[in-house]
Amino acid sequence: MSKSIGEETAVADYAFRFDAPPDRVSFTNRIKITGWLLHRRGLPVYGIPAIVRGILRPRSIFRARRKRSRPLIAAAYPDLPDAGQSGFLLALELPAGPSQVTIEVRDHENVWRTNVWRTIFVTQIWAWPLSFLGRIGLPRVEQFLVTYLAQFFPGKARSIAAPARSESVARIESGLRHGNVETFVGATSSIQREIKTVHFFVTSKSNLFIREIAELLCAGFRAAGCNAQLFVDQIPAEKTEEGKIQIVVTPHEFFNLFLSYQLSWEKIQRLTRHLFLLGTEQPESHWFDSNLIMAPYARDMLDIHLSGVTAYRARGLRCFHLPLGYHPLLEQRKKSANSERDVDICLLAAMTDRREAFIAANADFFAARNCHPRLVPIGFAKTEDTRTYLPAAKRNALLQRTKILLNVRY
């Protein structure tokens, strides 16, 4: 036996938000919804299911993966012990055509043979899956079309039940509307503002390549005539003078691994309004989703790849493209005694199921050549002290000997 409680009651009892509302139109039959949820009085949550009802298919129930780390939520709700593990992930499969998606929470008020469910979100999503392209051997065409077509349907799915709106959602959305924001270029009728000083912020707990990205950008701004500096494990200024900007590289590591341990949630929110946040992650990865927590508070988002720019803009966030360029610091300082490129293919990446499957499927091809695959665990940040990670000098020497540097997307 079960019963459902109205959404007004759910909003009153729970604090929750989605990292990004789902798209109202999807060109894939699999979507992910991430966010966080906790009871305002610290009472336990027993489950977060999503119910998908299609026209021609009976309803399907998908249960969320819970207890996902959210250090910023822990900082925002220090009196609630479960706040730090309040994150959840829903992986849904949608039938073709329209579907009603209902997200509920299984309440703490359990009585004998009764499950109490509270609805927190109800919406309709249209799915036009292009997965058949992958099945006929055209996965790249499928990926391109999914990304390309999504830009023509930028609207996000909204709850079709008005009360399904938490105070945290309202607070985040209000952050998207804060005015008087300086950008690299002013309004069309104003004079372009000159950037004279750029401060980059990273944490020593980040992956080593994140710091290298910051160093490369810092060198680029210096070459462009700016006064650029890189700060490690330092708190950005809450106010900046004219002609100066501050860029965090990258937010999901800087905030989660460093800043959340230094400042309260309220101070982090205020500070972020003066920061540009640089994204480096692939859209739909959980690292990208983690960036969405702080993105609405930022002065603006930046991303090194156009796919990231498109994904942020599709979520209603202003984002600019800041591509990485070439600088001599990328070169090996000393000329190698062996300048011959004797390594045919080099792969330097974190181990994922997709990359492992790619290598296995092409094992004969790689075995016939001199290859250097180096795949490291993905579950933690790789610093200079990580044994499986190549130091910068050795990595650059290896690349100097390599004919082809292979990239396999996450």
- pLDDT exceeds cutoff 60 at 174: no
Average pLDDT (7-30) is: 76
300 Cβ contact partners less than 8 Å away, ≥ 6 residues apart: 181, 183, 276, 277, 318, 319, 320
Percent of the chain with pLDDT over 90: 29
> 302: closest CA among 241, 247, 236, 224?
247
Whole-number Cα distances in Å, 28 to 24, 25, 32, 149, 348 = 12, 9, 11, 11, 29
Write the pLDDT tens digit of every residue in 319-370: 999 999 888 877 755 555 556 889 999 998 878 888 888 888 899 999 999 9
Do the domain assignments include residue 66?
A: yes
Q: Choose the final residue of a domain: 280, 295, 321.
A: 321
Find out whether the peptide bond into 250 is cis, omega within 30 degrees of 0: yes
Q: Which two tokens stand for residue 239?
A: 């106010």
Domain count, the chain: 3
Q: Say which range, 12-21, 55-64, 210-219, 259-268, has the weakest mean pLDDT.
A: 12-21
pLDDT at 157: 60
> Does 109 lie in the same domain as 12?
yes
Looking up residue 300, the CATH number of its domain turns out to be: 3.40.50
Q: Say which DSSP state 157 is in.
A: P
Do the domain assignments include residue 220?
A: yes
Q: Choose the final residue of a domain: 288, 321, 354.
A: 321
Do the domain assignments include residue 255?
A: yes
Write the pLDDT tens digit of every residue in 289-319: 888 888 889 999 999 998 888 888 877 788 9
With H, G, I as helix, E, B as strand and everything else as coil, classify residue 289.
helix
pLDDT at 179: 35
pLDDT at 144: 82
At residue 150 the predicted structure's pLDDT band, cuts being 50, 70 and 90, is: confident
**Chain centroid, CA 316 distance in Å:** 15
pLDDT at 165: 37
> Does 207 lie in the same domain as 78?
no
Alpha-carbon span 274 to 199, nearest angstrom: 12
Q: Choose the final residue of a domain: 321, 355, 390.
A: 321
Q: Say which range, 52-66, 212-226, 327-341, has the weakest mean pLDDT.
A: 327-341
> Does 19 lie in the same domain as 103?
yes
Domain boundaries, position 350: 338-405
pLDDT at 184: 40
Are the CB atoms for 248 and 230 separated by under 8 Å?
no
pLDDT at 244: 93
pLDDT at 259: 94
